[in-house]
Structure 1
Amino acid sequence: MDNVNNLPSASIDDIPEGAPVLDVREQDEWDAGHIHGAQHLPLSQLAERTGEVPVDEDVYVICRSGGRSLKATAYLAQYGFDPVNVLGGMGAWADADKPLISENGETPRVL
């Protein structure tokens, strides 16, 4: 990750409507609350599942606070994808009162 400062990044407000969002958090975090329409691909599975990542378009990569998404962005950039690290992650999303959905039937929240 030598060039992390050169990786594309965006705030949550910079994510275009309908743009692909890749959530790299773990299953329990995803189940508790995530962005509607986001794709779930935990960082721990990224290397084995890169074939599921959209190609030839910007993919907005998000995690809880930005650390895991930065690692995922660096990894994907090495292999020719067009990832954009989302600054502040799901914490910033929740702080901005943006909508969440859950998979566990409970009120959506960010873990």
Structure 2
Amino acid sequence: MVIGAISTSALILDIIFIAIILVWLGSYLFGRWRRNKYATVIDEEDFQKGMHKAQVLDVRPKNQFDRGHILGARSMPLTFLRQQMGELRPDLPVYLYDEGMTLSTQAAAYLGKRGFNKVYILKDGYAKWSGKTKKAKYAD
């Protein structure tokens, strides 16, 4: 009886582990699909070349933007994108970034569904940015 209980417990744990892996993989693939459908991922060099003719949006929360951001970027947290849509021009390219690419992917999907077709995401986000930045003059 004890051996049967142990193998049943192990089987349940294996099933849970496999389910978690499948959910994670599905989430990753869905995010990648959304990113490819609504935006083009560009490296830092291309981002820097085109950002002077684009609307550069930092979609991280405001407190992260205030700690430091790409020089010339405008703070437009993902949570406020809907309210600030009127400030954006659909005829100009939109360059998005966040700490990685998760929030940018969500913003790109939102913009793409609303007619923005020139949307670009900074590959690896602000975390890997080595270009010019504006840092806060104060510490939190």
- Same-fold call, TM > 0.5? yes
If asked which structure has higher relative contact order (CA below 8 Å, sep 6+), I would say: 1
Corresponding residue for residue 99 of structure 2: 64
For 1:77 and 1:56, how far apart are their aligned partners in 2?
Answer: 12
If each structure's helix is expressed as a fraction of its own residues, which one has the higher value? 2
Corresponding residue for residue 9 of structure 1: 41
Q: How many residues align?
A: 103
Corresponding residue for residue 54 of structure 1: 89
Find 2:133's aligned residue among 100, 106, 111.
Answer: 100
Structure exhibiting the larger radius of gyration computed from Cα positions: 2
TM-score scaled by length of structure 2: 0.66
Please list every run of at least 4 consecutive aligned residues from structure 1 whose deviation after the TM superposition is greater than 4 angstroms: none
Q: Contact 2:51–2:95 (CA<8 Å) still a contact in 1?
A: no
1:60 aligned counterpart, secondary structure: strand
Corresponding residue for residue 89 of structure 1: 125
Unmatched runs of 5 consecutive residues or more in structure 2: 1-29
Fraction of identical pairs, as percent: 30
Mark the CA change 1:9 to 1:74 in structure 2 (over 3 Å): closer, same or farther. same
Unmatched runs of 5 consecutive residues or more in structure 1: none
Deviation at 1:57, TM superposition (A): 1.6
